[in-house]
Amino acid sequence: MTGSALPQPLRPRALRPGDLVVIAALSGPLPAAYEPNVEQAVVVLERMGFRVRLAPLLEVGRRHWWSAATPAEIAAELNSLLRDAEVRAIIANDGGQTAFGYLDLIDIEAIKADPKPILGYSDISLLHLVLFARTGLVGFHADMAVPGFGGHWQAVPATRRAEFEKLYSRLLTGTEAIGALPASPSWECWRAGRAEGRLIGGVINRIALVQATRFAVPLEWFDGAVLFWEEMGGQASYVWSYLQVLRHCGILDRISGMVVGVPREIIGLEAPDASPTLAEIVLDVLGDRDIPVLGNVDFGHAGPNLPMPVGIRVGLDAQQLTLSLLEPAVQPLATTPPAGRHRG
């Protein structure tokens, strides 16, 4: 997209029972040890009422360096899914380190013609940011097959798992706003206040890196936005540095609020007596910017993930520990299938 005006979000079409969702290798490979996770993810998605297919590149043992295939091969498979009218949603199997390699190969016109939910986080959050910047597409920073549906979801109490299943089903099939996301005891108010704005974010290293490319989210689109981010690995000082990048490029001066996910495996933050804490790091970089900050929210690599639909308006009340989706993430079903699309 060109120009600085914030577009209306391009909402994918709502799913309905029996629709086909495809689990695809959009970045990293599928080691044999994680094949049972994919199988369990299929069970979860079928329980939600969907048909499930595995994309060809999602094959145990297939790999190219750290990826499931070359960037060109992954892009070709993604594009075939985007062009296939039968495919109604695409779910990443896992994250990885590959999406940067094919940002220039994605069929943008196919997305505009038939927008579909793409679910994933970590490296996949890069796709959400870039496709939002180029088309306005609402991307679903949400659980994937291996570390999500087939992993973290299996490790939580059955009541919490059922809550997540119902939430994801409503998100993908319902055309009413979700409202307040289900909170948990981990949520913390790091700076009180209320805000409303478009939800924009992802894993923080990808936010910082993509802004250095021609696929960056236009800076003006962060005006009044609620920035969400999470991180895994590295060191506490890296998080501080990424936040400083967002400060220097002007993002922190434009946003109306911030939501921070639960960190995972970050050196310097894992000990109970960590100093500085993640909250102290965030508030140090924010300085006197008086915006609400809600911390330790259930999204990110610690999983399971509350869905964070990029581009949807949210309401944030940090003191009351509430985060609400104020708009639906999908649009009502069309009466006829999208024209000109065919199985690829």
Question: Over the stretch 50-98, which tens digit does the pLDDT of each residue have?
Answer: 999 999 999 999 999 999 999 999 999 999 999 999 999 999 999 999 9
Domain 179-325 sits in CATH at 3.50.30.60
AA letter at 102? Y
For the CA atoms of 204, 173, 175, 261, what is the dihedral angle to 10 degrees?
Answer: -20
93 neighbors 23 (Cβ within 8 angstroms): yes
Strand order in the sheet with 313-317: 179-180, 322-325, 313-317, 194-203, 226-230, 257-261, 293-297, 188-191
Rounded CA-CA distance 227/292 in Å is: 11
Give start-end residues of each CATH 3.40.50.10740 domain in the chain: 20-173
Handedness of CA 330, 336, 342, 343 (dihedral sign): positive
- Evaluate whether 273 touches 175 at the Cβ level (below 8 Å): no
pLDDT in tens, the chain (344 residues): 444 677 789 999 999 999 999 999 999 999 999 999 999 999 999 999 999 999 999 999 999 999 999 999 999 999 999 999 999 999 999 999 999 999 999 999 999 999 999 999 999 999 999 999 999 999 999 999 999 999 999 999 999 999 999 999 999 999 999 999 999 999 999 999 999 999 999 999 999 999 999 999 999 999 999 999 999 999 999 999 999 999 999 999 999 999 999 999 999 998 888 899 999 999 999 999 999 999 999 999 998 999 999 999 999 999 999 999 999 999 987 644 444 443 33
Reading the block at residue 261, the tokens are 């996910």
The rounded distance, in Å, linking the Cα atoms of 118 and 88 is 9
> Which one of the listed residues 27, 230, 231, 256 is annotated catalytic?
230
Nearest Cα neighbor of 228 from 181, 266, 185 is 181
Q: Are 6 and 221 in contact (CB under 8 A)?
A: yes
What is the CA angle 144-150-154, rounded to 5? Answer: 125
Question: How far apart are alpha carbons 183 and 141 in whole angstroms?
Answer: 17
For residue 153, the one-letter residue type is: W
CA dihedral 161, 163, 168, 170 (to 10 degrees): 150
Report the DSSP beta bridge partners of residue 164. Answer: none
pLDDT digits (tens, 9 = 90+) for 286-318: 999 999 999 999 999 998 999 999 999 999 999
Q: Rounded distance, CA 99 to CA 67, Å?
A: 10
Domain 20-173 has CATH 1.10.3720.10: no
Catalytic residue among 122, 141, 152, 231: 122
Catalytic residue status for 64: no
Check if 230 is active-site. Answer: yes
Q: Which residue has the tokens 């923080």?
A: 204
| Locus of tokens 């960056």 | 216
Fill in the amino acid letter for 139.
G
H or E, element range at 230: strand 226-230
* Residue 193: both structure tokens together: 């206040």
Residue intervals of the chain classified under CATH 3.50.30.60 are: 179-325
Cis, bond preceding 304 (omega within 30 deg of 0): yes
Which residues 6+ apart lie within 8 Å of 188 measured at CB?
Answer: 279, 294, 295, 296, 321
CA distance 316 to 282: 17
